[in-house]
């Protein structure tokens, strides 16, 4: 066996994805690796394949119980013996697992970091041959990461206790420089092969909506997508409850998840979601890390998250199977206020002194601002995200709302000059609302109190609507002509770019891109997208296979997507395999899955082709 055979025959995949091959190869040669790949890129395979080829046992360290269970179930389905060791096991189960491990029955053992340094586990690893230690979600080792877990630091002690140093493989989706350095340094990776694949997830469609009524917007989306599985993220428990109640009233099969529910309820709801019993999950951000349900077709943010990192991670839970997924953010000004409040309330790390805490707060505010700009940009949304992570996308991706909307260019240079001049002549001391009101010539208390009504530029934009002035203001902020300070009462300041524009010799035009009114209801686009999602050649057959998969899942207590992914079923209902050889050519069908389910699915395909008089390749 080599890695290519394992990929094909056990996992049923025809080829490696970007990054995988080099990581697998290096690990097999005994060189440490660090894999930085976005969610859904296929990190697990990179350590699972070497684990199956190594002589000894491989230890996989993973932070979450649900994640371990899922992966072990998936491996068992492939016919691989694997086990997990964590606090969810009873004493009896634990003993049994350890006994089996000692007998060499598992090639792969998933372990929670807290379990590593226990006496029984140390005694196990001293008596067997350990070929590799793989650290999943490796960013948990860094204090700079989003999910620092002190127990991850024990991994180092654990590795040092081993009789022989195994290959060490670290994987994460978090790629900031400090986190990366921490992983290499703290884990003591030796000259690791580092593979960083792009952050882009081409199959995801991005969109931002600013509806007056979010609930109505949500319901209208669900009506059109009621056969799909998806996650709806809300910023508070209260919102989760509200959205959840509404969906239930409307008859949607929804589950909910937030930190206020009991452990049992959370587990039950999560399982209902994973098993597609309740394919819609309404949750706070407490839900998610380690959920790799592959057929999530949409992730809707009912509220804007606090930064692009969180947003991309959460939205990235859509489309892990590589099939189209939709990521929709429902924005409202209120979301910004709540996030600003949360940032200001953060007590943060008690070890930080006042100055450090201020610095953290300022950075948080800056990240929040970039998130807000995402909601206002009229440029390619994917490009915006990729640039945030330091990558360059094209300016046009063709798969986000902005790329698919027709805009018209409006020259607002004059208006921009008035606004910037107003900011300048009033001493750069006032916030957004005061300046907008003054430009429009409003006579409210604030304007009078700040004496903005005495400013020479007061009311110069009287003829422009408040909405338009606000749009221009946002544009000036997004494009960097003005900026907002990050203190408690943010005020507008000019930038050099802004200064240039009000000079006499200014040549630069400020162009506001606004969606053309007629294009606002993109019925055409919707149709196109639907087409893309239901692109099995025989959609009715696809439905039948899905129903059968669901029944099998119920019988065998395995999540449907672990039996076969949507992508696999879609290929089946396009190529109509009627022999074992053909079936094994389908992505996601390996030998073991074929033995388990192949006949059953071929029977359904045969029935369908006969009923409809469709000729398959062999006839
Ligand atoms: P990550 O841990 O990077 O977020 P996973 O390891 O959970 O991603 O993989 C995501 C999905 O991609 C899984 O359903 C997995 O089976 C699938 N996958 C991984 N590698 C390949 C490949 N080479 N070809 C096809 N599908 C793959
Ligand atoms: Mg993973």
Which range, of 407-411, 455-459, 589-593, averages the lowest pLDDT?
A: 407-411
Distance 172 CA to ligand 2 centre (A): 8
Tokens of 246: 């509404």
Query: Which of these, 369, 385, 364, 371, lies nearest to 484 by C-alpha position?
Result: 369
Distance 586 CA to ligand 2 centre (A): 23
Distance, CA of 176 to CA of 36 (rounded, Å): 10
Distance 298 CA to ligand 2 centre (A): 19
Q: Establish whether residue 48 lines the binding site of ligand 1, counting it when its CB lies within 6 angstroms of any ligand atom.
A: no
* pLDDT, average across residues 260-272: 92
Sequence-distant (6+) residues with CB within 8 A of 415 are: 461, 464, 468, 469, 472, 510
Q: Would you state the pLDDT for residue 526? A: 39
Instruction: For 365-385, write each residue's pLDDT tens digit.
Output: 888 999 999 999 988 999 999
Distance 373 CA to ligand 2 centre (A): 30
Q: Name the closest-CA residue to atom 9, ligand 1.
A: 42
* pLDDT, average across residues 208-230: 92
* pLDDT, average across residues 45-67: 93
* pLDDT, average across residues 537-561: 90
- pLDDT, the chain, mean: 89
Distance 61 CA to ligand 2 centre (A): 11
Q: Which of 23, 39, 41, 42, when mutated, tests ligand 1's pocket best, judged by the most ligand atoms within 8 Å of its CB?
A: 42
Query: Which of these, 289, 374, 288, lies nearest to 329 by C-alpha position?
Result: 374
Burial of 574 (0-12, 13-18, 19+ CB in 10 A): middle
Between 271 and 29, the higher pLDDT residue: 29
Query: Which of these, 424, 422, 413, lies nearest to 499 by C-alpha position?
Result: 424
Strands (E), 440-584: 482-484, 492-494, 511-515
Q: Name the closest-CA residue to atom 12, ligand 1.
A: 42
The torsion of the CA quartet 486, 488, 489, 494, rounded to 10 degrees, works out to -20
Distance 214 CA to ligand 1 centre (A): 33
Tokens of 399: 């798969």
Distance, CA of 461 to CA of 502 (rounded, Å): 16
Q: What angle do CA 112, 116, 119 make, to 5 degrees?
A: 135
Which range, of 32-46, 47-61, 403-417, 523-537, averages the lowest pLDDT?
A: 523-537
* pLDDT, average across residues 112-139: 94
Distance 266 CA to ligand 1 centre (A): 26
Q: Name the closest-CA residue to atom 16, ligand 1.
A: 42
Q: Establish whether residue 172 lines the binding site of ligand 1, counting it when its CB lies within 6 angstroms of any ligand atom.
A: no
**3-state SS class at 330:** strand
Does the pLDDT at position 279 exceed 90?
yes
Q: Would you state the pLDDT for residue 348? A: 59
Q: Which of 45, 169, 319, when mutated, tests ligand 1's pocket best, judged by the most ligand atoms within 8 Å of its CB?
A: 45
Q: Would you state the pLDDT for residue 619? A: 46
Query: Which of these, 164, 91, 485, 150, lies nearest to 351 by C-alpha position?
Result: 150
Say if CB 140 and CB 148 are below 8 A apart.
yes
Q: Establish whether residue 43 lines the binding site of ligand 1, counting it when its CB lies within 6 angstroms of any ligand atom.
A: yes
Q: Name the closest-CA residue to atom 24, ligand 1.
A: 13
Q: Name the closest-CA residue to atom 18, ligand 1.
A: 42
Whose atoms come closest to the Cα of 35: which ligand?
A: 1
Give the other-Cβ count within 10 Å of 619's Cβ.
Answer: 7
Mind listing the domains of the chain with CATH numbers?
Answer: 3-196 (3.40.50.300), 204-388 (3.40.50.300), 407-515 (1.10.10.10), 535-611 (1.10.150.80)
At 360, the pLDDT band (50, 70, 90 cuts) reads: confident
* pLDDT, average across residues 324-350: 86
Query: Hunting for tokens 């360059």 — which residue is that?
Result: 392
Q: Name the closest-CA residue to atom 15, ligand 1.
A: 42
Distance, CA of 134 to CA of 441 (rounded, Å): 64
Between 143 and 431, the higher pLDDT residue: 431
At 545, the pLDDT band (50, 70, 90 cuts) reads: very high
Give the other-Cβ count within 10 Å of 163's Cβ.
Answer: 11
Between 178 and 116, the higher pLDDT residue: 116
Distance, CA of 322 to CA of 317 (rounded, Å): 11
Q: Would you state the pLDDT for residue 477? A: 87
At 418, the pLDDT band (50, 70, 90 cuts) reads: very high
Does the pLDDT at position 350 exceed 70?
no
Q: Establish whether residue 42 lines the binding site of ligand 1, counting it when its CB lies within 6 angstroms of any ligand atom.
A: yes
Distance 304 CA to ligand 1 centre (A): 28
Q: Establish whether residue 169 lines the binding site of ligand 1, counting it when its CB lies within 6 angstroms of any ligand atom.
A: no
* pLDDT, average across residues 390-398: 79
Ligand 1 atom closest to the Cα of residue 561 is: 14
Tokens of 211: 């509806």
Secondary structure element (H or E) that encloses residue 542, with its range: helix 539-556
Q: Name the closest-CA residue to atom 14, ligand 1.
A: 321
* pLDDT, average across residues 548-573: 91
Instruction: For 129-177, write each residue's pLDDT tens digit.
Output: 999 999 999 998 987 766 778 889 999 999 999 999 999 999 998 767 7
Sequence-distant (6+) residues with CB within 8 A of 442 are: none
At 533, the pLDDT band (50, 70, 90 cuts) reads: very low
Q: Would you state the pLDDT for residue 528? A: 41
Does the pLDDT at position 349 exceed 80?
no
Output DSSP code: residue 396. Answer: -
Distance, CA of 27 to CA of 19 (rounded, Å): 13
Strand order in the sheet with 325-330: 204-209, 325-330, 296-301, 229-233, 280-283, 254-257
At 347, the pLDDT band (50, 70, 90 cuts) reads: low
Tokens of 599: 């006949």
Q: Would you state the pLDDT for residue 525? A: 41
Instruction: For 496-511, write each residue's pLDDT tens digit.
Output: 999 998 887 877 889 8
Which range, of 166-180, 315-329, 589-603, averages the lowest pLDDT?
A: 166-180
Q: Name the closest-CA residue to atom 5, ligand 1.
A: 42
Does the pLDDT at position 246 exceed 90?
yes
Q: Would you state the pLDDT for residue 558? A: 87
* pLDDT, average across residues 241-249: 96
Output DSSP code: residue 487. Answer: S
Between 352 and 439, the higher pLDDT residue: 439
Which range, of 83-92, 478-487, 578-587, averages the lowest pLDDT?
A: 478-487
Tokens of 161: 């206790």
Distance, CA of 424 to CA of 339 (rounded, Å): 29
Between 320 and 603, the higher pLDDT residue: 603
DSSP labels, 347-392: ---TTS-HHHHHHHHHHHHHHHHHHHHHHH--S-HHHHHHHHTT--
Q: Name the closest-CA residue to atom 26, ligand 1.
A: 13
Ligand 1 atom closest to the Cα of residue 44 is: 6
Q: Would you state the pLDDT for residue 272? A: 92
Distance 564 CA to ligand 1 centre (A): 13
Phi, psi of 234 (to 5 degrees): -120, 160
Q: Establish whether residue 292 lines the binding site of ligand 1, counting it when its CB lies within 6 angstroms of any ligand atom.
A: yes
Q: Establish whether residue 321 lines the binding site of ligand 1, counting it when its CB lies within 6 angstroms of any ligand atom.
A: yes
Percentage of the chain surpassing pLDDT 70? 95
Q: Which of 11, 34, 44, 586, when mutated, tests ligand 1's pocket best, judged by the most ligand atoms within 8 Å of its CB?
A: 44
Q: Would you state the pLDDT for residue 289? A: 64
Q: Would you state the pLDDT for residue 490? A: 84
Distance, CA of 374 to CA of 394 (rounded, Å): 16
Whose atoms come closest to the Cα of 317: which ligand?
A: 1
Distance, CA of 584 to CA of 594 (rounded, Å): 7
Distance 341 CA to ligand 2 centre (A): 33
Distance, CA of 83 to CA of 311 (rounded, Å): 33
Query: Which of these, 130, 79, 84, 86, lies nearest to 104 by C-alpha position?
Result: 130
């Amino acid at each position: 066996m080599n890695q290519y055979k394992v990929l094909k025959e056990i996992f049923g995949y025809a080829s490696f994805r970007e990054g995988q091959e080099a990581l697998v190869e290096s690990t097999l040669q005994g060189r440490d690796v660090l894999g930085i790949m976005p969610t859904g890129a296929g990190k697990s395979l990179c350590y699972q394949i070497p684990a199956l080829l190594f002589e000894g046992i491989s230890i996989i360290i993973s932070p979450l119980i649900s994640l371990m269970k899922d992966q072990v179930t998936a491996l068992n389905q492939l016919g691989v013996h694997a086990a997990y060791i964590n606090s969810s096991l009873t004493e009896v189960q634990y003993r049994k697992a350890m006994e089996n491990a000692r007998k060499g029955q598992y090639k792969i053992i998933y372990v929670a970091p807290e379990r590593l340094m226990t006496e029984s586990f140390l005694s196990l690893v001293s008596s067997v041959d350990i070929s590799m230690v793989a650290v999943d979600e490796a960013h948990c080792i860094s204090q700079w990461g989003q999910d620092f877990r002190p127990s991850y630091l024990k991994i180092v002690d654990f590795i040092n206790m081993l009789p022989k140093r195994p290959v060490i493989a670290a994987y994460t989706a978090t790629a900031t420089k400090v986190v990366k350095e921490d992983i290499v340094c703290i884990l003591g990776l030796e000259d690791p092969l580092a593979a960083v694949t792009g952050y882009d997830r081409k199959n995801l469609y991005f969109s931002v909506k600013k509806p007056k009524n979010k609930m109505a917007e949500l319901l209208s989306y669900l009506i059109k997508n009621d056969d799909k599985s998806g996650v709806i993220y809300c910023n508070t428990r209260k919102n989760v409850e509200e959205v959840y109640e509404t969906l239930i009233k409307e008859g949607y099969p929804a589950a909910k998840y937030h930190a206020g529910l009991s452990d049992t309820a959370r587990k039950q709801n999560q399982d209902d979601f994973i098993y597609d019993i309740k394919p819609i999950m309404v949750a706070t951000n407490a839900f998610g890390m380690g959920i790799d349900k592959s057929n999530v077709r949409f992730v809707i943010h009912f509220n804007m998250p606090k930064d692009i990192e969180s947003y991309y991670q959460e939205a990235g839970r859509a489309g892990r199977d590589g099939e189209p997924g939709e990521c929709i953010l429902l924005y409202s000004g209120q979301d910004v206020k709540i996030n600003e409040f949360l940032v200001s309330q953060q007590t943060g790390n008690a070890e930080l002194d006042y100055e450090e805490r201020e610095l953290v707060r300022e950075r948080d505010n800056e990240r929040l601002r970039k998130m807000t700009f995402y909601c206002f940009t009229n440029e390619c949304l994917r490009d915006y995200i990729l640039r945030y992570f330091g990558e360059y996308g094209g300016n046009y991706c063709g798969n986000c709302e902005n790329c698919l909307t027709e805009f018209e260019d409006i020259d607002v240079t004059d208006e921009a000059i008035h606004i910037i001049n107003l900011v300048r002549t009033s001493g750069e001391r006032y916030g957004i609302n005061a300046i907008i009101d003054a430009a429009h010539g409003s006579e409210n208390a604030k304007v009078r109190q700040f004496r903005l009504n005495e400013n020479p530029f007061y009311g110069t934009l009287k003829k422009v609507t408040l909405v338009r002035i606000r749009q221009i203001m946002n544009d000036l902020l997004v494009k960097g002509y003005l900026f907002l300070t990050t203190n408690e009462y943010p005020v507008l300041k000019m930038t050099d770019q802004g200064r240039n524009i009000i000079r006499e010799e200014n040549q630069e035009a400020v162009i506001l891109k606004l969606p053309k009114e007629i294009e606002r209801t993109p019925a055409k686009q919707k149709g196109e997208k639907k087409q893309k999602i239901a692109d099995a050649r025989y959609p009715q057959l696809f439905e039948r296979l899905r129903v059968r998969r669901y029944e099998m899942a119920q019988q065998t207590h395995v999540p449907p997507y672990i039996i076969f992914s949507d992508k696999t079923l879609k290929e089946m209902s396009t190529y109509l395999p009627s022999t074992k050889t053909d079936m094994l050519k389908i992505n996601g069908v390996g030998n073991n899955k074929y033995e388990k389910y192949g006949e059953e699915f071929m029977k359904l395909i045969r029935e369908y082709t006969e009923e409809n008089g469709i000729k398959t390749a062999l006839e």
